[in-house]
Chains A and B, each alone.
Chain A
Amino acid sequence: MTAATSSAAVTTGAEPGVPGAPPGAGVRLQPAQRSARGHPTAWWGMVILILTEATLFGGLLSSYFFIRAINHTWPLGGIRAPDLHRISIFTGVLLGSSIPIFWAEAAIKRGNLRRLRVGLAVSWLMGAAFFVNQVLEYRSLGFGPRTNAYGSLFYAITGLHGAHVVIGLLISLVVQLKAGLGRLSAERHLTAQVFGLYWHFVDGVWVFVFASLYLSTHLH
Chain B
Amino acid sequence: MALTEDRPSASAEIDIEERLHEAWAEPAGIAGFLTSVDHKRIGMRYIYTAFVFFFIGGIEALIMRTQLAGPNNHVLGPEQYDQLFTMHGITMIFLFNTPVLAGFGNYLLPLQLGTRDMAFPRLNAFSYWIFLLSGVFMYSSFLVGHAPDGGWFSYVPLTSRHFSPGVNLDFWGLGVMFVGISTTVGAVNFIVSAFKMRCPGMTVNRMPIFVWSMLAMAFMVIFAVPSVTLASALLESDRLFGTAFYSAAHGGSALLYQHLFWFWGHPEVYILFVPAMGMVSTIIPVFARRPLAGYLWVATSLIAIAFISFGVWVHHMFATGLPAMAMAFFAGVGLLIAVPSGVQFMSWIATMWRGRVRWTTPMLFCMGFAFIFLLGGITGVMVSVLPFDWQVHDSYFVVAHFHYVLNGAVVFPIFGALYYWLPKMTGRMLSERLGRLSFWTMAIGFNVSFFPMHILGFLGMPRRVYTYSSGLGWDGLNLLASIGGFLFGLGTALTLLNVVVSRFKGEPAGPNPWEADTLEWATTSPPPHYNFDRIPVVTSRHPLWDQPELAYAESGEEEATRAYGLTGALERQTPISTGLDAAPEQTMEIPRDTYLPLLVALGTAVIFLGLLAKAIAVGAVGVALAALALVRWAWRTEEDLR
Residues on A facing B (Cβ under 8 Å): 1-12, 14-17, 22, 24-32, 36-38, 40-42, 44-45, 48-49, 51-53, 55-56, 58-60, 63, 66-67, 70-71, 76-77, 145-153, 155-156, 170, 174, 178, 183-185, 188-191, 194
**Does B251 contact A30, Cβ atoms closer than 8 Å?**
no
In the assembled complex, the Cα of A108 lies from the Cα of B260 at a distance in Å of 42
**Does B244 contact A152, Cβ atoms closer than 8 Å?**
yes
Q: Which of A36, A56, A67, A189 contacts B253 (CB 8 A)?
A: A67
Q: Which 3 A-B residue pairs are closest in the complex by CB-CB distance? A: A26-B554, A32-B583, A31-B560
In the assembled complex, the Cα of A41 lies from the Cα of B524 at a distance in Å of 28
In this assembly, does B192 line the interface, its C-beta being within 8 Å of a C-beta of chain A?
A: yes
**Does B241 contact A52, Cβ atoms closer than 8 Å?**
no
In the assembled complex, the Cα of A11 lies from the Cα of B192 at a distance in Å of 28
Q: Identify the closest chain A residue to B197 (Cβ).
A: A41
In the assembled complex, the Cα of A17 lies from the Cα of B201 at a distance in Å of 10
Q: How far is the CB of B264 from chain A (nearest CB, A)?
A: 9
On chain A, the residues within 8 Å of B229 by CB distance are 56
**Does B251 contact A149, Cβ atoms closer than 8 Å?**
yes
Q: Which of B524, B537, B549, B639 contacts A16 (CB 8 A)?
A: B537
In the assembled complex, the Cα of A49 lies from the Cα of B185 at a distance in Å of 8
Q: How far is the CB of A94 from chain B (nearest CB, A)?
A: 22
On chain A, the residues within 8 Å of B2 by CB distance are 6-8, 24
**Does B245 contact A29, Cβ atoms closer than 8 Å?**
no
**Does A44 contact B551, Cβ atoms closer than 8 Å?**
no
On chain A, the residues within 8 Å of B191 by CB distance are 44, 48
Q: Which of B243, B511, B579 contacts A156 (CB 8 A)?
A: B243
- Contacts of B520-549 to chain A: CB distance below 8 A: 522-524, 528, 532-534, 537, 539, 547, 549
On chain B, the residues within 8 Å of A191 by CB distance are 634, 637-638
Q: How far is the CB of A100 from chain B (nearest CB, A)?
A: 21
**Does B227 contact A55, Cβ atoms closer than 8 Å?**
yes
**Does B537 contact A52, Cβ atoms closer than 8 Å?**
no
In this assembly, does B262 line the interface, its C-beta being within 8 Å of a C-beta of chain A?
A: no
In the assembled complex, the Cα of A188 lies from the Cα of B564 at a distance in Å of 22
On chain B, the residues within 8 Å of A66 by CB distance are 253, 256, 259
**Does A11 contact B551, Cβ atoms closer than 8 Å?**
yes
**Does B585 contact A59, Cβ atoms closer than 8 Å?**
no
On chain A, the residues within 8 Å of B627 by CB distance are 170
In this assembly, does B565 line the interface, its C-beta being within 8 Å of a C-beta of chain A?
A: yes
With contact pairs A5-B522, A28-B554, A48-B188 given, residues A63 and B533 touching in the complex (Cβ less than 8 Å): no
On chain B, the residues within 8 Å of A184 by CB distance are 638
Q: Which of B218-226, B370-378, B448-456, B484-492 contacts A (4 or more CB under 8 A)?
A: B218-226
Interface SS majority for chain A: loop
On chain B, the residues within 8 Å of A40 by CB distance are 576, 586, 641
In the assembled complex, the Cα of A174 lies from the Cα of B556 at a distance in Å of 36
With contact pairs A31-B561, A56-B230 given, residues A12 and B588 touching in the complex (Cβ less than 8 Å): no
| Contact bitstring B242-266, A, C-beta under 8 A = 1, else 0 | 1111010011110010011001000
Q: Identify the closest chain B residue to A70 (Cβ).
A: B253
Q: Which of B120, B227, B250, B581 contacts A149 (CB 8 A)?
A: B250
**Does A5 contact B550, Cβ atoms closer than 8 Å?**
yes
**Does B242 contact A3, Cβ atoms closer than 8 Å?**
no
- Contacts of B198-244 to chain A: CB distance below 8 A: 200-201, 222-223, 225-227, 229-230, 234, 237-238, 241-244
**Does B588 contact A45, Cβ atoms closer than 8 Å?**
no
**Does B552 contact A27, Cβ atoms closer than 8 Å?**
yes
In this assembly, does B15 line the interface, its C-beta being within 8 Å of a C-beta of chain A?
A: no
**Does B251 contact A55, Cβ atoms closer than 8 Å?**
no
In this assembly, does B504 line the interface, its C-beta being within 8 Å of a C-beta of chain A?
A: no
On chain A, the residues within 8 Å of B244 by CB distance are 146-149, 151-152
- Most A CB contacts (10 A, CB to CB) among B197, B523, B552 go to B552
In this assembly, does B558 line the interface, its C-beta being within 8 Å of a C-beta of chain A?
A: yes
In the assembled complex, the Cα of A44 lies from the Cα of B242 at a distance in Å of 38
In this assembly, does B416 line the interface, its C-beta being within 8 Å of a C-beta of chain A?
A: no
Q: Report the number of A-B residue pairs with Cβ-Cβ less than 8 Å.
A: 245
Known pairs A76-B251, A145-B241. 9 more at Cβ < 8 A? A15-B537, A17-B200, A28-B553, A29-B556, A37-B586, A44-B119, A55-B222, A147-B250, A188-B639
On chain B, the residues within 8 Å of A63 by CB distance are 230, 234, 245, 256, 260
In the complex, 29 of the A-B residue pairs with CB atoms within 8 angstroms, ordered by the A residue number, are A4-B510, A5-B549, A7-B552, A8-B2, A16-B584, A26-B534, A26-B565, A27-B537, A29-B554, A29-B584, A31-B559, A31-B560, A31-B584, A38-B196, A38-B579, A40-B576, A41-B192, A41-B576, A44-B195, A45-B192, A52-B187, A56-B229, A59-B226, A59-B260, A67-B252, A67-B256, A148-B251, A149-B251, A155-B243
Q: Identify the closest chain A residue to B525 (Cβ).
A: A4
In this assembly, does B578 line the interface, its C-beta being within 8 Å of a C-beta of chain A?
A: yes
In the assembled complex, the Cα of A51 lies from the Cα of B588 at a distance in Å of 24
Q: Identify the closest chain B residue to A48 (Cβ).
A: B188
**Does A28 contact B556, Cβ atoms closer than 8 Å?**
yes
**Does B120 contact A41, Cβ atoms closer than 8 Å?**
yes
**Does A146 contact B634, Cβ atoms closer than 8 Å?**
no
Q: How far is the CB of B252 from chain A (nearest CB, A)?
A: 4
With contact pairs A25-B554, A31-B560, A190-B638 given, residues A12 and B539 touching in the complex (Cβ less than 8 Å): yes
In this assembly, does B635 line the interface, its C-beta being within 8 Å of a C-beta of chain A?
A: yes
Q: Identify the closest chain A residue to B242 (Cβ).
A: A146
Q: Which of B195, B225, B243 contacts A146 (CB 8 A)?
A: B243
| Contact bitstring B155-197, A, C-beta under 8 A = 1, else 0 | 0000000000000000000000000000010011101100111
**Does B578 contact A38, Cβ atoms closer than 8 Å?**
yes
**Does B263 contact A59, Cβ atoms closer than 8 Å?**
yes
**Does B550 contact A7, Cβ atoms closer than 8 Å?**
yes
In this assembly, does B326 line the interface, its C-beta being within 8 Å of a C-beta of chain A?
A: no
**Does B547 contact A1, Cβ atoms closer than 8 Å?**
no
Q: How far is the CB of B634 from chain A (nearest CB, A)?
A: 6
In this assembly, does B22 line the interface, its C-beta being within 8 Å of a C-beta of chain A?
A: no
Q: How far is the CB of B47 from chain A (nearest CB, A)?
A: 22
**Does B523 contact A3, Cβ atoms closer than 8 Å?**
yes
- Contacts of B566-622 to chain A: CB distance below 8 A: 576-579, 581, 583-586, 588
- Most A CB contacts (10 A, CB to CB) among B200, B539, B554, B584 go to B554
In the assembled complex, the Cα of A58 lies from the Cα of B226 at a distance in Å of 9
On chain A, the residues within 8 Å of B243 by CB distance are 145-146, 151-152, 155-156
In the assembled complex, the Cα of A59 lies from the Cα of B259 at a distance in Å of 10
- Most A CB contacts (10 A, CB to CB) among B259, B263, B551, B581 go to B551
On chain B, the residues within 8 Å of A10 by CB distance are 547, 549-551
**Does A32 contact B576, Cβ atoms closer than 8 Å?**
no
Q: How far is the CB of A89 from chain B (nearest CB, A)?
A: 29
Q: Identify the closest chain A residue to B225 (Cβ).
A: A52
Q: Identify the closest chain A residue to B231 (Cβ).
A: A59
In the assembled complex, the Cα of A49 lies from the Cα of B579 at a distance in Å of 18
Q: Identify the closest chain A residue to B180 (Cβ).
A: A52
With contact pairs A24-B5, A55-B223 given, residues A67 and B579 touching in the complex (Cβ less than 8 Å): no
On chain B, the residues within 8 Å of A152 by CB distance are 234, 237-238, 243-245, 250, 252
Q: How far is the CB of B237 from chain A (nearest CB, A)?
A: 7
**Does A9 contact B251, Cβ atoms closer than 8 Å?**
no
In the assembled complex, the Cα of A91 lies from the Cα of B554 at a distance in Å of 54
In the assembled complex, the Cα of A215 lies from the Cα of B196 at a distance in Å of 41
**Does B522 contact A3, Cβ atoms closer than 8 Å?**
yes
Q: Identify the closest chain A residue to B537 (Cβ).
A: A27
**Does A31 contact B230, Cβ atoms closer than 8 Å?**
no
| Contact bitstring B268-302, A, C-beta under 8 A = 1, else 0 | 00000000000000000000000000000000000
Q: How far is the CB of A8 from chain B (nearest CB, A)?
A: 5
